[in-house]
Chain A
């Protein structure tokens, strides 16, 4: 069984976002980039399948900002091979349509049984990768997945619905899966192992053609949400803030005394 996990870097959402001069994209210059949290879940699910079946796990990424760190970390966690597809990224945002086209082209020459990636990412303005890729490759795809058990030629997949209901599905392989949550909390990689992976430098770079596909969207402007109804901020020491919060609850009869 061969598994590919597609990884994408997204800006750290904790940071302050600024809009570029054109007003149509975020300014990436001072942002930190991290692995999309759902891609991390997808990687964990793949490693769990590896633990259970001895599958090989390859991690694949485009040339996103600070992506090497994510690839080395994946190796340190137990991925067998890291592949970086270069030549597709421009300066700014790369649409999901473009990403899907690049991956579909590359995957067509490979022979993976399962392709896992995160169910969504914070910048998926033109849609989610897994279903788009499934459609382009004409293989079954399932998203919002919380468990994958793979055997020869087939996988039993747990798909989550609103309120926590779960569907169990059987799909024939190859298939593309959009992972919401792995069966276990994503494992940590020891710093020493990440360093070792870095020193060995085993990221295979593969040049690909720039994507022909585009999102078809015209972004007129980006802006931070209007702050008209923002919370009244409670300031002061933690004791002051605690006093205020308890008083607010007491006014409503939600705290006795």
Chain B
């Protein structure tokens, strides 16, 4: 094991993800403390290596352009095993959820998931993880062993990872990718949807606390009175009560309206990731311990079924 910190870079159609730069910034502090290098690893898209200026080394590995867990896991396991860095940082994106735990098993490295904070402590890394839907923080140390941390997006500033250096770029040999049992078939862009929630001044967002599909109407009425679209947390769109195009959060859209009004949303980290930069956040949830009140500017534990008709009446006046 050496003192390097790996950052698994991710790219989408729009280029490298913000999360990649967040990880690079976090990696720099750790690598400096340990006297190691920040090594960005990019699989299957060497063209973006030049944007990884804040790394010391960029490793590119050839792989099929279309992501599959199986091919990427084989490539990354090869790099982690052969270069043996002290720490591997990944984002808790779809790729992170797909790969981090598999690499933990394959490379026999402990994994800390849901990480929001990272500190060096001697040779060890101390990771702070946000578990139980954001209700509990766990401070975890991996003693004297190489580790993997899967980090929640938005936990570190991306700007810290956007340096303009000129790292050495190394093209690593790809492992044999024969015998793969996973085949990429097609990629489908998200449905455009009826409304673009990313451009609205106000969003009225509804979550699991609404209870049933029929009661979405209560939220819709208030939104209509404000002239605002209805947004939703994941359980609502998973259930098909609102279209996917309304979903805010990790597997939905990132929004930054002037006001974000939340009804029956507890504030799981995956949702908060998509809306925490809204200028004004008002949350209604009957659980006063709900994590949503940690990001909201104003909150109330009044029952949403009592509050919504009152709001609709006033907004319509």
Contact = CB atoms under 8 A, between A and B. Distances in A.
Interface of A: 11, 13-14, 16-17, 19, 26, 37, 41, 96-97, 100, 119-120, 122-132, 134-136, 139-144, 156, 159-172, 175, 178, 180-182, 184-185, 215-225, 227, 229-235, 237-239, 241-246, 248-249, 252, 254-255, 257
A160 B12 CA distance: 13
Contact of A168 (B113, B188, B293, B299): B188
Contacts of A180: 238, 251
Contacts of B303: 238
A96 B226 contact: no
A245 B182 contact: no
A10 to B, nearest CB: 8
B250 A245 contact: no
B299 A232 contact: yes
Contacts of B139: 219-223
A229 B294 contact: yes
B199 interface: no
Contacts of B296: 231
A243 B191 CA distance: 37
Q: Is the interface of B mostly helix, strand, loop or mixed?
A: mixed
Contacts of A156: 185
B62 interface: no
Interface string B233-272: 0110011100011010011110000110100001000000
Contacts of B131: 122-125
Contact of B136 (A139, A165, A224, A248): A224
Interface string B162-205: 00000000000000000001111111111100000000011000
Given A135-B106, A162-B93, A218-B141, A248 B113 contact: no
Interface stretch (B23-31, B34-42, B44-52, B96-104): B96-104
Interface residues of B, number: 104
A215 B110 contact: yes
Contacts of B314: 242-243, 246
B135 A13 contact: yes
B129 interface: yes
Interface string B277-298: 0011111000111010111111
Contact of B97 (A19, A119, A163, A248): A119
Nearest to B116: A225
A233 B302 CA distance: 10
Contact of A166 (B138, B187, B261, B306): B187
Kindly name the residue among B150, B238, B258, B259 whose own CB sees the greatest number of chain A CB atoms within 10 A.
Answer: B238
B251 A14 contact: no
B67 A167 contact: yes
Given A123-B132, A164-B251, A217 B112 contact: yes
Contact of B100 (A41, A127, A239): A127
A171 B98 CA distance: 14
Nearest to A16: B289
B117 to A, nearest CB: 11
Contact of A127 (B104, B140, B240, B313): B104
A255 B182 contact: no
A13 B67 contact: no
A11 B202 contact: no
Contacts of B282: 245, 248
A123 B132 CA distance: 6
A142 B182 contact: yes
B186 A168 contact: yes
A70 B105 CA distance: 28
12 contacts: A123-B132, A141-B69, A163-B253, A180-B251, A225-B136, A229-B295, A232-B297, A232-B298, A238-B307, A245-B298, A249-B202, A254-B259
A234 B141 CA distance: 39
Given A26-B132, A26-B136, A255 B104 contact: no
A185 B251 contact: no
B238 A41 contact: yes
B68 A169 contact: yes
A66 to B, nearest CB: 17
A96 to B, nearest CB: 7
A126 B258 CA distance: 37
Contacts of B189: 165
